[in-house]
Amino acid sequence: MTTTVSQKQILDALSKVNDPELHRSLTDLKMVRDVVIHAGKVEVTIALTVSNCPLKSQIEEDVRAAITALPEVKQVSVKLISMTDQERAALFGEPKEGAAAPYNHIQNVVAVMSGKGGVGKSLVTGLLAAALSKKGYRVGILDADITGPSIPMLLGLHGPVEPGPVGLRPLQSRGGLKVMSMNFLLTNEDQPVIWRGPLIGKAITQLWGDVMWGDLDYLLVDLPPGTSDAALSTMQSLPVKGVVMVTTPQGLSAMIVRKAVHMTQAVGVPILGVVENMAYFICPDTGKQHFIFGPSHATEITLAASAPLMAQLPIDPNVAALCDAGHVEDVKLTEIEGLIEAFVKAAPVQAERQHG
């Protein structure tokens, strides 16, 4: 007597296949639409939540593998279609603010802050993110500098972004960083964002809750200068684990950064460490160090913050050239290794990194 695989066996197998973005089974998401079985050949139709799903190849591969593993299956054909707007609304509800947040799993949200403009917060954010990614961590950058975003240029990224089933999909850098910035949402990158404080704060919370960040070990939040709306919204609305404070050697910078230190302490967010940027310049001809902006004031900041000095980064024309070209991920500085070691020690990742 010839036996054949049953539709129930196939549906049971597909109930163990998860959508890689939403972490729910294909059957739970009503993505399995049609199953045809004939003489050991199985044809299955899968309805993607959105037509532009970037992980459709992975879904197809997982479906094929799950069915092929069943006994008596000789051949598998997978047809991909897309849900209609009505089907998607019935499954997820109408689009609403913060809809993506339940599907995101982010271990550490860390803000990069200064209080002072022009000290290199975005550079430090980019260097940290790139180096963490190279170490195997899953990293994203939320560009909270709504009116003066630098992150897109540092990474060579341009909008627009595409919608996913429950929110916007972040862009991905060459090195695999997930990135979201207000600049990606503008029709023209040179268009100014002329908003008052409350709107800026709301935009930051939306970049957090309306973006499909997925599974991340670290989400770095690049804050704008100052200690008002943007910084407050980030620290009070997002689950910020800690802050990396960025400064430069000048006394003026140290004074303003101390204000940011005291503001961070006032809202109860730990300061993980201090990074002094533009600390010195090494003459390529002589190898001698020159302190272009005067002696370091980093010790004053670390004492006020009760936090370690994570790194002192030099002035390097090659770094500036790479950043202008959108290649911050290619920057190589010997100081970065120590920076990453101190950072991971201050904000460790739990061993368990899988989500069912």
Residue pLDDT, tens place only, 221-280:
999 888 877 788 888 889 999 999 999 999 899 899 999 999 999 999 999 999 999 999
Please, which residues bridge with residue 79 across strands?
45
Domain assignment present for 166? yes
Cβ count near 73 (within 10 Å): 18
Domain total for the chain? 2
Last residue of some domain: 56, 71, 92?
A: 92
Q: Are residues 195 and 273 in the same domain?
A: yes
287 and 223 part of one domain = yes
Instruction: Spell out the residues 6+ positions from residue 126 whose beta carbon is closer than 8 angstroms to its own.
Output: 141, 151, 154, 155, 323, 328, 329, 331
Whether 356 is covered by a domain: the verdict is no
Token digits for 179? 């990135």
**Would 354 be classed as within a structural domain?**
no
Has residue 250 been placed in a domain? yes
Do 88 and 105 belong to one domain?
no
- Does a structural domain hold residue 59? yes
Statement: residue 18 has pLDDT above 90: yes
Q: Are 214 and 21 in contact (CB under 8 A)?
A: yes
> Are the CB atoms for 120 and 278 separated by under 8 Å?
yes
Residues 168 and 43 in one domain: no
- Do 80 and 107 reside in the same domain of the chain? no
Asked if residue 1 belongs to a domain, the reply is no
Query: What residue numbers bound the domain in which 27 lies?
Result: 7-92
Does 117 share its domain with 250? yes
Asked if residue 315 belongs to a domain, the reply is yes
- pLDDT, greater one: 229 or 109: 109
User: How confident is the model at residue 97, as a pLDDT?
Assistant: 67
pLDDT score of 302 more than 90: yes
Same domain, 198 and 311: yes
Q: Do 159 and 298 reside in the same domain of the chain?
A: yes
Is 148 a member of any domain?
A: yes
The pTM (predicted TM-score) of the whole model is: 0.83
224 and 77, same domain (yes or no): no
Find the helix or strand (DSSP H, E) in which 80 lies: strand 75-82
Amino acid letter, 112 = V
DSSP secondary structure letter of residue 274: E
Share of the chain above pLDDT 70, in %: 96
Strand order in 41-48's β-sheet?
A: 32-38, 41-48, 75-82
pLDDT of residue 221: 96
Pairing status of strand 75-82 against strand 41-48: parallel
Confidence of residue 116 (pLDDT cuts 50, 70, 90): confident
Domain boundary residue, one of 61, 92, 123? 92
